[in-house]
Chain A
Amino acid sequence: MKSNLLVLAAAVLIFTSCSSNPKKPAQPAAASVGDKSDGKSVRAASDLDEYQVETIADPLEPLNRVTFSLNHGLYTYLFRPISKGYEWVIPKLLRQGIHNAFENVKYPVRVVNDTLQGNFERAGLETGKFVVNTVVGVGGLGRPSDHIPALADVPAGETGQTFAKWGVGHGAYLVLPVLGPCSLRDTVGLAGDYALNPVSWVTIWYGGYAWTLAIPSTNTVRAMPNQMKMYEAATKDALDRYLAARSSYVQYRKEAALK
């Protein structure tokens, strides 16, 4: 009898944990005012707090909003035309090659952070990917790793993510001039990524020669079309662009920290 009771208790536990998400406390049925849809008013009423408003400290909101709208102007009147021009002048295949090569060269950013996170398996995968793309993909212009299932979707390690995994919080939300949505933590992360990216080493070692400007500039421009598309996807059709961008940023970084 005792064991039967235990089974009953276990079954009840399993059942309740299956059917109700702890984040969603059941609402009283009377709360389903105006929900006339499909006779599922109890479930319909309890799903209203399914999505939480994600929070990030934004003590500088007034200043951030100003920077945000300046950036918006910059994107609209300068970066977008540059992106369009780049896409118009450089054929698609070459663009893809340039993009791949710059991403491939960022290998130290990924492998150092994977290692700092203690994720040696991923550091190994990154190394395999780097070798395959550099050798078979001719200096990283091609991305043959896409055709190897184990290497196709290796989440990219970066410094902000490392801080997040170490338990460092965002601090405060910041809209950086030109660069856009960021946080205190991720600004430091960006500096780390910059230092680990061989593209910046060129400037650091050979700074002063005019030709060294070509490589980082190409890197900036080749990344622009994608960044403009991301910005547009996040803010187009928004009721408030600033809030839409902030919400997207927080969600995107939360996901990155879980990878």
Chain B
Amino acid sequence: MILRTFLLIPLMFLCGTAFASTAEAEKRLQSAVTDVLAIATTAPDRAALQTSLRPVLKKHLSFEAMTRRAVGPGWRQFTPPQQEEAVRLFTTLIIRTYSDKFTPGEHPEILFKAATSPAPGRVEVPTTILYQGGRYSVTYRLEEAESWRITDVVIEGVSLVANYRTQFDAEFKKGGAGAVVGALSQSVENPK
């Protein structure tokens, strides 16, 4: 009996914290979205949008985790300077991709749905975005490190990280870490 009670306590504790953290992650995401929208609706043009979004996105997104997972198991064969370079380049690329999704002056409306916690320290927040007459399903994945950070954005089932995972994998198979960093820097330098 004592053993049973003893076992229940950590379980209850786990459930309790999971619930609290879901709310915390949602709050964090909402503040991120508010920050981004404030910039997106006031920026005069695309270049300004990108410059002013950069610090905000760096605060709310975990670029290191995103890069690592997009590269996959091959990450272990990157030297520390290569890892750093890959994170730096991927950060720039994601910020550019993300900024391009906004048309200055257009105001998206975001409806938040009930968040779920697929694993401890992880939360997924599904949303519906009403933008330019369309309805899009967008799920944000968040993770708790020092604070809650966004680690992936899934638009209509298409994950940003999974999309690059396929591309990085192809480069890695061609020429290892060097090929991945090379392809990244080429993409960053020559916007298509």
Which of A34, A44, A252 counts the most chain B CB atoms within 10 A?
A34
Q: Closest chain B residue to A12 by CB distance?
A: B7
Interface size class of chain A, counting residues whose CB lies under 8 Å from the partner chain: 35 or more
Partner of A236, one of B4, B100, B158, B168: B100
| A interface majority secondary structure | helix
A240 and B78 contact, CB distance less than 8 A:
no
A256 and B76 contact, CB distance less than 8 A:
no
Residues from chain A with a CB closer than 8 A to the CB of B159 are 51, 251
Residues from chain B with a CB closer than 8 A to the CB of A235 are 192
A7 and B3 contact, CB distance less than 8 A:
yes
**Is A121 part of the binding interface, using a Cβ–Cβ cutoff of 8 Å?**
no
Q: Tell whether A51 pairs with B165 under 8 Å between CB atoms, given A18-B120, A248-B158.
A: yes
B135 and A153 contact, CB distance less than 8 A:
yes
Q: Tell whether A239 pairs with B128 under 8 Å between CB atoms, given A18-B119, A48-B68, A252-B158.
A: no
Residues from chain A with a CB closer than 8 A to the CB of B75 are 34, 48
Partner of B83, one of A31, A34, A92, A246: A34
How would residues 58 to 82 of chain B score, 1 for a CB under 8 Å from any chain A CB and 0 otherwise?
A: 0000001100111111011011100
A31 and B119 contact, CB distance less than 8 A:
no
Residue count of chain B within 8 Å CB distance of chain A: 57
Shortest distance from the beta carbon of A125 to any chain B beta carbon, whole Å: 15
Q: Closest chain B residue to A96 by CB distance?
A: B133
Partner of A234, one of B93, B158, B170: B158
**Is B55 part of the binding interface, using a Cβ–Cβ cutoff of 8 Å?**
no
B163 and A34 contact, CB distance less than 8 A:
no
B134 and A226 contact, CB distance less than 8 A:
yes
- Tell me which of B37-45, B46-54, B183-191 binds A: B183-191
A36 to B97, CA, bound (A): 28
Shortest distance from the beta carbon of A147 to any chain B beta carbon, whole Å: 12
Residues from chain B with a CB closer than 8 A to the CB of A258 are 157
| B interface majority secondary structure | helix
A38 and B96 contact, CB distance less than 8 A:
no
A96 to B131, CA, bound (A): 12
Q: Tell whether A47 pairs with B69 under 8 Å between CB atoms, given A38-B145, A247-B166.
A: yes
**Is B24 part of the binding interface, using a Cβ–Cβ cutoff of 8 Å?**
no
Partner of A53, one of B100, B101, B128, B166: B166
Residues from chain A with a CB closer than 8 A to the CB of B135 are 146, 152-153
Residues from chain A with a CB closer than 8 A to the CB of B73 are 48-49
- B interface residues with partner A (beta carbon < 8 Å): 1, 3-4, 7, 11, 14, 64-65, 68-73, 75-76, 78-80, 83, 93, 96-97, 100-101, 118-120, 128, 133-135, 137, 145-146, 155-159, 161-171, 183-184, 186-187, 191-192
- A interface residues with partner B (beta carbon < 8 Å): 4, 7-8, 11, 14-15, 18-19, 21, 31-38, 40, 44, 47-54, 92, 95-96, 99, 146, 152-153, 226, 232-241, 243-244, 246-248, 251-252, 254-256, 258
